[in-house]
Amino acid sequence: MFKSFSHIYIEEGIKDHVRTKEILAKFPNAIPVLIRHYKDSFNRNSQNFRIQKETPKLILAEKKDQFLYPGSDFSPNFSHPHFYYNTMALNCIYDCEYCYLQGMFPSANLVLFVNWEDFFSATNNFLEENKSLYLALSYDTDLLALESFFPATKSWLKFAESQTNLSLEIRTKSTNYSQIANCPPNPNVILAWTLSPQSIIETIEHGTPSLQARLKAVGHAIRDGWKVRICIDPILRVPNWQIHYQSLVDILGKELNVEGITDISFGGFRMNIDFLKRMVDTRKDSSILFHAFEKKNKIVSYSELETEEILELMSTALQKHFSPSQIKVSYS
């Protein structure tokens, strides 16, 4: 699923941290390199995201501030008044052509913050002040995909057991459900899988598990009693996209226990215009990035007509298998 890291850069302040030692033990052949601050490496000039993505390095760091961020307008808040996310990791082990991270970050290296207790403390403080919080854990990464060497998801599930006013969403494309299968299902936690047609997975979502492998993980989680969300997002207008996505919906209706799915959300491609410009400069081989997008303020997306076509087709296809209350539009 991921390449072993040849080098692991470690902030001097956390070189003796217990989690630093645990991660280093997972990669005994990696060369450790001490650094002053992760940004000295991660934010330096003249990096090539595409080249780094071929052999990414690992950076272990301590996050000093900003443990909660308001959720983006690009992501659905599912009607929660306090929708936030955190960044326990920066970047993803996968290489999806549409991923905004390659337009947001200057580096493809993976940053892991080891001071989890500070994240928990900040979350506690927020809950004391605001009484409720909907927190997306897997925002600028795929946290569950890292679980075998960075088991933060399990720690958050344990933390959430005593926080009745905390709702967690853990979004993933991974098949690492087995890493948390022994954790008791929590009604305030949603495990959300992003699913795509197999043709999209093979050609655009590089390095990600197959559709069937993801469906197996989804089915396991449903049987274990977890709340499960399905995310078909972003929908990409590739050749014959209508056939591919209608087929995907039919597969879901056939292979999953539909009644065990909390909701299913979908939306078309949309992105910050500056991110897209950077992505186009570095990923000239990706045809999906060169669509004639509509620009509105700082957002690029499919045209209103194209978006309406997506909404109509997907709504019709989903209603054959799911109840109207289960179907959510994540962006339109």
The predicted pLDDT at position 76 comes to 59
Residues 6+ apart with CB under 8 A from 84: 68, 69, 70, 71, 126, 133, 134, 135, 136
Q: Which helix (H) or strand (E) holds 122?
A: helix 116-130
Contacts 24+ apart (CB under 8 A), 125-131: 126/68, 126/82, 126/84, 127/163, 127/165, 127/166, 130/82, 131/165
The predicted pLDDT at position 77 comes to 57
Q: How many angstroms separate the CA atoms of 138 and 89, rounded?
A: 8
Reduced to 3 states, what is the DSSP secondary structure of residue 170? strand
Burial (CB < 10 A; 0-12, 13-18, 19+), residue 62, is middle
Residue written as token pair 């925002």: 139
CA angle 101, 221, 23 (to 5 degrees): 50
Main-chain phi, psi angles of 52, to 5 degrees = -65, -30
Token output for 310 = 């997506």
Residues 6+ apart with CB under 8 A from 290: 280
182 alpha-carbon distance from chain centroid = 22
The predicted pLDDT at position 1 comes to 44
Q: Is the dihedral of CA 272, 277, 282, 288 positive or negative?
A: positive
The predicted pLDDT at position 38 comes to 97
pTM here?
0.94
Token output for 274 = 């500056």
Residues 6+ apart with CB under 8 A from 229: 169, 171, 190, 191, 192, 193, 261, 262, 263, 264, 265
Digitized pLDDT (tens) for each residue of the chain, 332 residues in all: 456 799 999 999 999 999 999 999 999 999 999 999 999 999 998 888 888 999 999 999 999 999 999 987 655 556 688 999 999 999 999 999 999 999 999 999 999 999 999 999 999 999 999 989 999 999 899 999 999 999 999 999 999 999 999 999 999 999 999 999 999 999 999 999 999 999 999 999 999 999 999 999 999 999 999 999 999 999 999 999 999 999 999 999 999 999 999 999 999 999 999 999 999 998 988 999 999 999 998 999 999 999 999 999 999 999 999 999 999 998 65
Residues 6+ apart with CB under 8 A from 80: 132, 134, 167
Main-chain phi, psi angles of 210, to 5 degrees = -65, 165
The predicted pLDDT at position 45 comes to 86
Strand order across the 299-301 sheet: 270-272, 299-301, 294-296
Q: Of 74, 30, 77, 78, which Cα lies nearest the Cα of 55?
A: 30
